[in-house]
């Protein structure tokens, strides 16, 4: 099995979402076959469960975790083991021996100062025994049905944005609030003509609010505009970076096509 442990200075972090790093360990026949420490890539609501699922993690070990995050891990079929303290080596040895026992989350939403209905603060002891607050961003109940489409070179959030729209490799349909997404191969990527119109109609049928891409031609631009879809061009980097920029309002809508017809045809 493969487990991820929220890590802080070689010990289990008291809080899942804000831990500095994750230790990912693969165990086969009661032996550790691989161990990797990765920096925490961020804790936007819904992102970490998807991120760790893509790394084939089957269980997450942490001191504490919000209820919303627990539900999202459950949706990914990832077991949560909470209430854990101690060094990483000690915890892993107990796991291998079958002696690791989970308990109540060390972070109790609502135990500390309140931050309205959408946020709570929990308190737990840090390494020096002092109480500290940690905001449960995983607890945010962001009510939105917004969905955007991003042209992508691959099927994951770490794939790069495809500079082509009509002939991109994949379309990523994603809710920017929860980061829940669906990757679909572009059925028109090899079309010799009309790819922009067909791709535009294809994504419009998904009832999206905006398209993020590198470039869009005149036919696709007209199709998307007619469907009332906001188009944002000159987007680059990974899909997750593009979504983050979109949420922060860094990306601005584009007016009209950014390239001429037949852009992206391989010759």
The full set of domains in the chain, from first to last, is 2-139 (3.30.420.130), 148-247 (3.30.420.130)
Question: In whole angstroms, what is the distance from residue 123 CA to residue 14 CA?
Answer: 10
Mean of all residue pLDDT scores within the chain: 81
pLDDT-based confidence at 266, cuts 50/70/90? low
pLDDT of residue 261: 60
pLDDT of residue 79: 92
pLDDT-based confidence at 216, cuts 50/70/90? very high
pLDDT of residue 235: 95
Helices (H), the chain: 47-54, 67-75, 88-97, 195-204, 218-226, 239-247
Q: Specify the DSSP class assigned to residue 162.
A: P
Residue 105: count of CB within 10 angstroms of its CB: 23
pLDDT of residue 128: 38
Do 12 and 91 meet the contact criterion of CB atoms below 8 Å apart? yes
Report how far Cα 119 is from the mean position of its chain's Cα atoms: 20
Q: Which residue has the higher pLDDT, 195 or 159?
A: 159
Question: In whole angstroms, what is the distance from residue 99 CA to residue 119 CA?
Answer: 35
Do 87 and 99 meet the contact criterion of CB atoms below 8 Å apart? no
Kindly report the backbone phi and psi dihedral angles of residue 118, in degrees, each rounded to the nearest multiple of 5, phi listed first: -90, -15
pLDDT of residue 241: 93
Question: In whole angstroms, what is the distance from residue 100 CA to residue 94 CA?
Answer: 5
Which tens digit of pLDDT belongs to each residue from 36-95? 999 888 766 677 888 899 899 999 999 888 777 888 888 889 999 999 999 999 999 999
Kindly report the backbone phi and psi dihedral angles of residue 225, in degrees, each rounded to the nearest multiple of 5, phi listed first: -65, -40
DSSP reduced 3-state for 83: coil
Does the structure show a pLDDT above 60 at 208? yes
Does the structure show a pLDDT above 60 at 142? no
pLDDT of residue 118: 32
Question: In whole angstroms, what is the distance from residue 5 CA to residue 80 CA?
Answer: 10
pLDDT of residue 133: 43
pLDDT-based confidence at 102, cuts 50/70/90? confident
Mean pLDDT of 130-140: 40
**Is the whole model's pTM more than 0.85, yes or no?**
no
pLDDT of residue 19: 85
Q: Which two tokens stand for residue 177?
A: 């609030």
Q: Which of 131-144 are b and which e, b meaning 16 or more Cβ less than 10 Å from the residue's Cβ? A: eeebbbbbbbeeee
pLDDT of residue 202: 94
pLDDT of residue 26: 94
Residue 97: count of CB within 10 angstroms of its CB: 9
Do 60 and 79 meet the contact criterion of CB atoms below 8 Å apart? yes
pLDDT of residue 130: 39
pLDDT of residue 265: 52
pLDDT of residue 263: 56
Mean pLDDT of 225-245: 92
Count Cβ atoms within 10 A of the Cβ of residue 202 and give its class: 0-12 exposed, 13-18 middle, 19 or more buried.
middle
């Amino acid at each position: 099995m493969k487990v991820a442990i929220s890590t802080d200075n070689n010990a289990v972090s008291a809080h899942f979402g804000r831990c500095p790093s994750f230790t990912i360990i693969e165990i086969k026949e009661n032996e550790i076959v691989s161990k990797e420490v990765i920096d925490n890539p961020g804790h936007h609501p819904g992102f970490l469960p998807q991120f760790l699922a893509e790394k084939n993690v089957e269980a997450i070990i942490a001191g504490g975790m919000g209820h919303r995050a627990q539900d999202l891990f459950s949706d990914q079929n990832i077991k949560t083991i909470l209430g854990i303290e101690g060094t990483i080596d000690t915890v892993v040895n107990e796991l291998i021996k079958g002696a690791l026992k989970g308990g109540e989350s060390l972070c109790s939403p609502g135990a500390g100062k309140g931050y309205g209905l959408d946020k709570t603060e929990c308190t737990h002891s840090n390494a020096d025994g002092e109480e500290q607050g940690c905001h449960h961003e995983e607890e945010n109940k962001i009510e939105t049905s917004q969905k955007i489409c991003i042209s992508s070179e691959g099927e994951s959030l770490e794939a790069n944005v495809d500079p082509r729209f009509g002939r991109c490799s994949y379309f990523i349909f994603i809710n920017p609030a929860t980061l829940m997404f669906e990757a679909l191969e572009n059925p028109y990527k090899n079309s010799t003509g009309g790819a922009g119109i067909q791709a535009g109609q294809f994504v419009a049928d998904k009832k999206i609010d905006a398209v993020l891409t590198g470039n869009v031609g005149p036919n696709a631009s007209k199709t998307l505009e007619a469907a009332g879809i906001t188009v944002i061009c000159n987007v680059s980097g990974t899909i997750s970076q593009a979504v983050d920029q979109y949420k922060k309002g860094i990306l601005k809508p584009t007016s009209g096509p950014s390239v001429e017809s037949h852009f992206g045809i391989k010759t």
